[in-house]
Amino acid sequence: GAGVSQSPSNKVTEKGKDVELRCDPISGHTALYWYRQSLGQGLEFLIYFQGNSAPDKSGLPSDRFSAERTGGSVSTLTIQRTQQEDSAVYLCASSLEGQAFFQYFGPGTRLLVL
């Protein structure tokens, strides 16, 4: 597709369950970012992938959060043992290498933990 896509668009889960969120970046974009947006809040950086370099995980809030990027393209954000405070919109963005100031965002996955 032409833009960043994310799936699922909505996810409702029970506290304690694991969830996986998927991001397909724009073709050719080597940089991929995950953000979390709580209700009425700004975007909180989670993790950044650039090519084959080690990811910048400095924004992950706890060890329950992890992310992978396979083949330099699709990325999966995994949240283990979900908590109610994990409820948020999870946004993925991609950019060309070295152009973090020009990120294209996906529509997000709305996660609700009951």
Partner 1 sequence: GESVGLHLPTLSVQEGDNSIINCAYSNSASDYFIWYKQESGKGPQFIIDIRSNMDKRQGQRVTVLLNKTVKHLSLQIAATQPGDSAVYFCAEYSMEYGNKLVFGAGTILRVKS
Chain residues in the site for partner 1 (CB under 8 A): 4, 31, 33, 35, 40-45, 48, 50, 56, 58-59, 91, 93, 98, 100-108
For partner 1, which is the closer residue by CB, 80 or 107? 107
For the bound state, the minimum distance from the C-beta of residue 108 to partner 1, rounded and expressed in Å, comes to 5
The tally of CA atoms less than 13 A away on the side-chain side of residue 66 is 6
Taking phi first (over 0 means left), then psi (-120 to 50 degrees means alpha), and beta for anything else, what does residue 28 get? left
For partner 1, which is the closer residue by CB, 108 or 111? 108
For the bound state, the minimum distance from the C-beta of residue 105 to partner 1, rounded and expressed in Å, comes to 3
| Paired residues of 94 in beta bridges | 32, 104
The C-alpha atoms of residue 50 and residue 45 are separated, in whole angstroms, by 15
For partner 1, which is the closer residue by CB, 67 or 106? 106
- Going from the C-alpha of 44 to that of each of 27, 35, 61, 67, the distances in angstroms are 24, 5, 10, 15
For the bound state, the minimum distance from the C-beta of residue 100 to partner 1, rounded and expressed in Å, comes to 4
